[in-house]
Amino acid sequence: MKKETSSNSLNEQFLFQSCELNSALKVISGRWKAQIVYSIWSGNDRFSLLKQELSAISEQVLSRQLKELETQAILVKIPIPETVPAGISYRLTSKGIELVPILQALCNWGKQYPEENCIPLSACVTG
């Protein structure tokens, strides 16, 4: 539950209203969102595939992030008919797809300035 009157919350609203940059940033900030977008884009369109790829993520968090990304119109859930139990396929919207090149640009930027603690994703989780 959020306190809408806290200065923290007010600041958040101010920033969101101030600049498109912030609304964009809000989409890809957080520990997992950008990776989820990237992962879906690269073919992991199922909950279990995402969980496998982002091996350190908990189901709770993955579910939460997916819901947020859906709300932000980055992805859509597509029920897979006649599967038991029910299956859901995740697909990026055009808005989500257009985000990918920017993430790639960020990747390339990161590659130009490598950090020492740069290790594969599964171990990339900081406690």
Partner DNA sequence: CTGTATCCCCAACGATACTG
Partner DNA sequence: CAGTATCGTTGGGGATACAG
Write out the residues near a copy of itself by the rule CB under 8 A.
Answer: 7, 10-12, 14-25, 28-32, 34-35, 38-39, 42-43, 53, 56-57, 73, 95, 98-99, 101-115, 117-124
Cβ-in-10-Å burial (0-12, 13-18, 19+) of 3 comes to: exposed
- Per CB under 7 A, the list member of 18, 23, 59, 121 interacting with DNA is 59
For residues 121 and 107, give the distance between their C-alpha atoms in angstroms, rounded to a whole number. 13
- Per CB under 7 A, the list member of 22, 47, 100, 103 interacting with DNA is 47
Q: 7-18 and 20-28 are packed helices; what angle lies between their axes, rounded to 10 degrees?
A: 110
* Interface ranges with DNA (CB under 7 A): 1-3, 6-9, 11-12, 30-32, 46-48, 56-61, 63-67, 77, 85-89, 125
